[in-house]
Structure 1
Amino acid sequence: MATGSARMRLAIVGGGASAVTLVDALARSTPREKIKVSIFEPRADPGPGRPYQQDADGALINRPAEAMSIRHTEPLDFRNWLREAGNRGEFPSVDPEARFQPRWLFGVYLRRRLASAAARLAAGGSTVETSESTVEDVLPVDGGLRILTSTGVTQTNDHVVMCLGTPRPADLYGLSGRPGFVADPYPLAGPLPADEPVTVLGSNLSAVDIAVALLRRGHTAPVRLMSRNGALPSVRCRPAVILPDEARELAEAVRRTPSAALWTTVRRLLRARLAAHGASADEMVRDLAVGEPAAGRLTRQLGRQDAEDCWRAVLLPLLDPVGELFWQRLPPRTRQSFLGRHHTRLATVLNPMPPATAALLLEALRTGALEVHAGVTAVTARPTGGFTVTADGRDHHAGVLLNAVRATPYDPEEPAGRLLARLTASGLVRPHPCGGVYVDFATNRVLGPAPGLYALGHPTAGDLYYANAGSLLGISARAERIVARILSSPVTGAAAVAHSSTLTIGGRLDG
């Protein structure tokens, strides 16, 4: 490990939640060397990223508060922070004991944790700076990796970590720029006509977020969620109690079973564990099937949210400890087959919504304030204005169309997709057929000719699976692996050549 007066240079591409976990992990590692950290984030407010900006009060985090810490070894950090803030009289309208908290509040937590991590690093002689720009390219040079930014900054670093966040919604029908089409609905607090029907493309968590924000602000015209399968996210259950022997048996099977037989073996073991907890196979079939009316599905699942024998309550705590290793050990063809055949349906289970959200949707369905339609096959812009959405053979008119279509690959027209396309063309990264880029499972280093290039979060989905790559506790554990690798690497003596100034981060985030 390098010591003394040498200064290591670390560039972080993106300034959202993944970047915060990385800076926090670095600060908690108390590095002996002096490190200059540069965060490149086009938003003026680093920390919240795309999902956790100042938003509508009714937009809730879809994961419980105890699973939203940026420190996987301290899963209650967010909840404890919220309690301390409440004791100081902050956020008087927020219940610190609520299991599901507002998105904007988590954004405040991210900003403040980033500021405290920057201050801790500064106390040890390191610095954290931010530049309101995007990274357009990364080039290997003698002494490290040179980044080129949209504002003309050229900087050479020892290490670069891509924290690109989740892709923006996919514009499947080429509607960007059309009047009335909202390509990216976040933040959800934007103005919409209160007396006009609003159509949302998609029925996933993002679509549900939009519907809830509209319903809570008193939108008087119907909100329509329209997608190919019409499947809403499942209702989150309280997790069942999983005994250590159960988790250990599954973990051992994942580690020891030959990869060719792994899919069959793990499915058999999961079925056995579900049966041991009294979980109904019929309920599993119904939850994974398409075509069940949305109101009936919500009613059924809300009635089972506290049932320990619900298969969803058993599955998630069983899979959480071994999910990413299981995915990484599956043969590539099996992974691709799973994504094509099962991912969309299983995503409704792996990414459930809070019960309070489900109850609000159910009431709106019963009153006609909300509609859910399946079978979308086409969306076209009308010459006279608005859009025609074709679903189940019928044409539906939409004056306002909000896009919530799940995007797995990054759009090459967006900064993250543009950067990955350039890195692919230069041979620094290899696109993974299951999403993102190839990374080393143990360290998150991008597999390729640049030893100092890493990825964190969604760009690692091909090797870690989307549910695991997007779990904040999982990202925190991965951030610690990156930090350990970086701090054990020799400093190359990379020198910064900046053509525009960067701003110190700490003073901007306190408050």
Structure 2
Amino acid sequence: MRLAIIGGGASAVTLVDALARSAPKEKVRVSIFEPRAVLGPGRPYQEDADSALINRPADAMSIRHADPLDFRNWLREVAGSGEFPSVDPEARFQPRWLFGVYLRRRLASAAARLAAGGGTVDVCAAAVEDVIPVDGQLLTLTSTGVTQPHDHVVMCLGTPRPADIYGLSGRPGFVADPYPLTEPLPTGEPVTVLGSNLSAVDIAVALLRRGHTAPIRLMSRNGLLPSVRCRPVAIDPVEADRLAEAVRHTPPAALWTTVRRLLRSSLAAHGASPDEIALDLAVGESAAGRVARQLGRTDAADCWRAVLLPLLDPVGELLWQRLPLHTRESFLRRHNTRIATVLNPMPPATAALLLEALRNGSLEVHSGVTAVTARPGGGFTVTAAGQEHRAGVLLNAARATPYDPEESAGWLLGRLAERGLARPHPCGGVYVDFTTNQVLGRASGLYALGHLASGDIYYANAGSLLGISARAERIVARIQRGSTPGTSPLATSSTLTIGGRLDG
């Protein structure tokens, strides 16, 4: 079997690891196409500042769905060896660069395991610009002109780069993509960051940790910082089952209303305050007040955020897939920005540092951004809440765009769409079959994993390595059952799978 993986980040690692653990009965030739020099870390987990922490607890960062403590156990191993003397293996939130090391080593181990069974893992340091179905095979065409045949192709394209909303790329002082944060950042002059999400927080923390003394401004449309992560509460299995049954069996047209009612009931049963819910989702509270308030609630069993996440995690993917398309589009347009602050919270240690900076005036958060323009003499003008702010250095942390057609991932998707091999999804990425992650189009054997499948698999869940690992295992099981590439049985499907279940 010949398998191509387009992209060499964390999703690709979960796929190779799942394949190696499946003990394939036939020799497998894996080709990974990745133009970056280092495989494994992708964009989020490169060599970076120690201050850039993973926003999920270490216990939820395994690449192995069935072994959620794999990363934690690896941390204990490397700490015991003395290789990383500064590492605290019991810390709840670990540096992103350290997770990158874990990814690289798990990829090497998986490759060695496949090699021991007679397989190979080859790396092509080039981007794939096209995938062409020919005579029951899928041919990859790279930017260097190399063509290779494969039985199956999995696209692991990662998260798109930040959006250049105001067309500032190429302007002096504009940093279009500030990752990795180890790259030189200005230390002696005011810095403005476009955005107030997790990426913006990473930038602010990196600057503060290295002694930046000039003012730092985070400026966005809503001015909402990520929520502070709570310790999740234990959910009664009966309560969880009631929600899961509703998600599986409620007709799609009534699903959104039904789930909201059940969630409100569960939150009330745990003592959650409607006032706290409204305040967490509202725009207007001061950033310092919001962070201080939420820091005081990280261990509160009646905090609604401590209840919501463990309730939603097991059913989030299926809930999103069963909602009507117009409901999904409306949610993304009207609610996603605020809900994302809850579903993607920041570690308490990060919040505590931000709070100190907010109180001493070294950090400001502004809302109401409506325009950013380049000044004729250099620098920028940011218009927010009717006021103009000057900025000499502008770091871009805007939310991810659709894949840029000027980049290799966007170019590839454009080519596939032209020939009907993939259909752009209005909610992000491309249409996929919910059960198998197979791309819905004119050829079978083509799959999408991670952010690329976010239109049908809500990325709050798909972005979890445990969730991606579960999907990777499903893809591996599918391709090992001997599905034949060629014309897709889904090619003429005009509707998505309705009511699919993760248990098959």
Give the TM-score normalised by structure 2. 0.95
Q: Distance in 2 between matches of 1:75 and 1:159?
A: 28
2:420 is aligned, of 416, 423, 427, to 427
Counterpart of 1:161, as a letter, is V
- Alpha-carbon distance, 1:194 to partner: 1.2
1:105 is matched with which residue: 92, 98, 108? Answer: 98
Identify which range, 12-21 or 389-398, moves more after superposition: 389-398
State which of 381, 385, 388 in structure 2 corresponds to 1:392.
Answer: 385
Deviations 1:29-54 (A, max 9, x none): 00011111000011110000001000
In the TM superposition, what is the alpha-carbon distance from 1:466 to its structure 2 partner?
Answer: 1.8
Task: Go from structure 1 to structure 2 and tell me whether the alpha carbon gap of 1:363 and 1:492 turns closer, same or farther (over 3 Å shift).
Answer: closer
Residue 201 of structure 1 corresponds to 194
The one-letter code matched in structure 1 to 2:398 is: V
* CA distance in 1: counterparts of 2:225 and 2:146, whole angstroms: 44
Q: Partner of 1:497 in structure 2? A: none
Q: Does 1:287 align with 2:305?
A: no
CA offset at residue 192 of structure 1?
2.0
The answer to whether 1:161 aligns with 2:144 is no
Find the aligned partners of 1:320 and 1:310 in 2 and give their Cα distance: 17
Asked which structure has the greater RCO (Cα within 8 Å, sep 6+), the reply is 1
Equivalent position to 2:114, from 113, 116, 121: 121
Query: 1:333 aligns to what?
Result: 326
Alignment CA distance shift 1:492-1:446 (3 Å): closer
CA change 1:271–1:490 in 2 (3 A) is closer
Secondary structure, aligned partner of 2:329: helix
In the alignment, what sits opposite 1:185?
Answer: 178
Report deviation, 1:166: 0.5
Matched residue type, 1:233:
P
Question: Does 2:430 match 1:402?
Answer: no
**Distance in 1 of aligned mates of 2:368 and 2:404:** 24
Contact 1:204/1:231, CA 8 A, preserved across alignment: yes
Of 316, 337, 348, the match for 1:323: 316
Which deviates more from structure 2 when the two are superposed, residues 407-416 or residues 225-234? 407-416
Residue 312 (structure 1) aligns with: 305
* 1:20-419 correspondence to structure 2 within 5 Å: 20-419=13-412
Could you list the per-position Cα deviations for residues 477-508 of structure 1 after superposition, in whole angstroms to 9, with x for gaps in the alignment? Answer: 00000000011115779xxxxxxxxxxxxxxx
> How many Å separate the matches in 2 of 1:489 and 1:276?
48
Secondary structure in 2 matching 1:34? coil
1:448 CA drift (Å)? 1.1
Moved more, 308-317 or 386-395: 386-395
**Cα distance, 1:408 vs structure 2:** 4.1
Give the letter for the 1:143 counterpart.
Answer: G
- State the AA in 2 paired with 1:472: L
CA contact (8 A) 2:444 2:485 kept: no
Map Cα deviations across residues 203-241 of structure 1 (whole Å, 9 max, x no partner): 000000110111001111111100000000000000011
Supply the distance in 1 between the matched residues of 2:80 and 2:86 (Cα, whole angstroms): 13
| Offset at residue 415 of structure 1 (A) | 1.4
**Aligned-partner SS, 1:224:** strand
Aligned partner of residue 104 in structure 1, secondary structure: helix
Instruction: Measure, in 1, the Cα distance between the counterparts of 2:484 and 2:218.
Output: 52
Contact 1:408–1:435 under 8 Å retained in 2: no
Could you tell me the TM-score, scaled by structure 1's length? 0.94
Moved over 2 A (4+): 490-493
Residue 383 of structure 1: CA displacement? 1.2
Structure 1 counterpart of 2:489: none
Instruction: Verify the 8 A CA contact 2:4 2:32 in the aligned structure 1.
Output: yes
Q: Distance in 2 between matches of 1:40 and 1:200?
A: 33
The alignment yields a C-alpha RMSD, in angstroms, of 1.0
Q: Give how far 1:412 is off.
A: 1.4
- Asked if the contact 1:11–1:161 (Cα under 8 Å) also holds between the matched residues in 2, the reply is yes
Match of 1:372, SS? strand
TM-aligned CA deviation for residue 407 of structure 1: 1.5
Alignment match, 2:7: 14
Deviation at 1:413, TM superposition (A): 1.4
CA distance in 2, matches of 1:466, 1:474: 10
Q: Count how many residue pairs are aligned between Structure 1 and Structure 2.
A: 486
Say whether the 8 Å CA contact 2:5–2:153 is kept in structure 1.
yes
Does the CA contact (< 8 Å) of 1:46 and 1:111 recur in 2? Answer: yes
Per-residue CA shift, 1:316-364, capped at 9, x if unaligned?
0000000000000001111111111110110000000000000000000
Asked whether the equivalents of residues 162 and 400 of structure 2 are also in contact (C-alpha less than 8 Å), the reply is: yes
SS at match of 2:184: coil
Q: CA deviation at 1:382?
A: 1.0
State how far apart, in whole Å, the 1-side matches of 2:280 and 2:407 are. Answer: 35
Structure 1 gaps of 5+ residues are 1-7, 494-511
Counterpart position of 1:5: none
Structure 2 counterpart of 1:64, one-letter code: P
Distance 2:335 2:388 in 1: 28
Cα distance in structure 2, aligned partners of 1:375 and 1:266: 32
Runs (5+) with no aligned partner, structure 2: 487-504
Query: Structure 1 CA distance, aligned partners of 2:468 and 2:69?
Result: 16
2:400 partner SS: coil
8 Å CA contact retained: 1:203, 1:227:
yes
Secondary structure at the residue paired with 1:406? coil
Letter in 2 for 1:235: V
